Amino acid sequence: MKGNPALDPARAPQGGPPGGRAGRVSIQTAFPDPVLLELPWELPLEQWPEDVLAAYPRGLSRHVVRFAHAGPKVVAIKETTPHYAQHEYGILRRLNRMGIPSVVPDSVVTGRFTPDGEELPAALVTDHLAFSLPYRALFSAGPSATTVELLVDALASLIVQLHLSGFYWGDVSLSNTLFRRDAGAFAAYLVDAETGELHPQLTRGQREYDIELARTNVAGEIMDLLAGAAEEGHELSDPVDPFDVSDRLVASYTTLWRELTVEESFSMDERWRVVERVRRLNQLGFDVEEASLETDDGKIRLRPQVVEPGHHTRRLQRLTGLSAHENQARRLLTDIAQFGQDLYPGLDEDLVAQLWMRETFAPIMEAVPAPMRRKLEPAEIVHEVLEHRWFMSERARKDVPTRVAVQDYVASQLAKRPDERQVF
């Protein structure tokens, strides 16, 4: 790391009270930015002034965690020991390089002292994940069975991705996860890797321990939600059983893990089943990067060895340049295909996608008032408009123009939604 000496731990003064907010803390970072030095590191995190803090919803944590403004961006800061801060920073960097859904680590801050010379905890700084929500923020009116099921399905998918990458979590829970909306479902992101370990490959015992821990923690978190809802007098429209929820998590994980890793055996005249298996994995949102095919006694054995999540996401980005979550991408790709079939039959898929961007995506986003575009991610807004158009057309028993659907959606739906880019 080069640049400002105050950001270089090798050149920063060691020990002793700082002379002010800037200059004497040690900041290890892959993204040197002097704006970090302007934060009040000489104060315990609980005492940071309100003009520095961002009032975002926080999940439960055994550490002190706060969101703070650092120049144009918002960062999450967690106080912990130097060892755990360095460990988690390193783990998160490796997970990010592997493309695993997780928060982006910004820096580790050590050498903090109060003006009186009292040593303060180290701090791990991560970038705020825009449009993300802790699970509790989704239940302002009490737990919903449908939403809970979607959350645990997203968590199960995340755990599978982590385990495939060789990551042992050691503290699986809804509280250690952030969620983004994904075309009627959710995408889950790891937010706390303090207890995590990366291995070349996990043992069955490591995976099973993570899953049993997830079963226990998720059931406890749902019980806590139900107790809170009862105290606040919320009447739940549908029952939520914490143990059914945790069982669903385990079942979702088991089914997905088996589909992605199990070895299949079939006869030589059933070679079409190789293509079917790959297509099935694509439908689940995974690409087969590497597989083992063996023949013996007229039998074919197929075992996926490396599967990569994000099949639809990568395909949509290749066709349009759009960044989207997996379900959003699947939904938009479906609309592109229908658009081409209806208006441009026989035209090359790449050209159809570009025409769809010009004739569908761009007009929808242009019709949404600029202040409201911050409420949801662009792909989520377009997905919801398309769904809204379908429901309006069904009610009217005729095709409703997209511009009419956008106007109605903005007035009846989006205007009432909170700003999820920066939820206060």
9-26 residue pLDDT tens: 433 334 444 444 444 788
- 233: pLDDT strictly greater than 80: no
Selection from 378, 376, 370, 387 nearest residue 414 by Cα? 376
Q: pLDDT band for 389, please (50, 70, 90 cuts).
A: very high
| Among 122-126, 291-295, 375-379, the least confident range | 291-295
Instruction: Give the pLDDT confidence score for residue 141 in this predicted structure.
Output: 62
Number of residues assigned to the chain: 424
Q: How confident is the model at residue 162 (pLDDT cuts 50, 70, 90)?
A: very high
Q: For residue 124, what pLDDT is reported?
A: 97
Q: What percent of the chain has pLDDT over 70?
A: 91
- Are 403 and 117 a contacting pair, CB within 8 Å? no
- Give the residue-averaged pLDDT of 29-39: 84
* pLDDT bucket at 2, cuts 50 / 70 / 90: very low
Q: Is the pLDDT of residue 8 over 60?
A: no
The rounded mean pLDDT for the chain is 87
Contacts 24+ apart (CB under 8 A), 260-264: 260/160, 260/164, 260/284, 260/286, 260/304, 260/307, 261/164, 261/303, 261/304, 261/307, 262/303, 263/301, 263/302, 263/303, 264/301, 264/302, 264/303
> Among 19-23, 299-303, 339-343, which stretch is predicted with the lowest mean pLDDT?
19-23
pLDDT reading at 53 higher than 70: yes
- Residue 353: pLDDT above 60? yes
Q: Above 80 in pLDDT, residue 373?
A: yes
Q: Is the pLDDT of residue 296 over 80?
A: no
* pLDDT at residue 364 tops 90: yes
Dist. CA 389–CA 339, nearest whole Å: 14
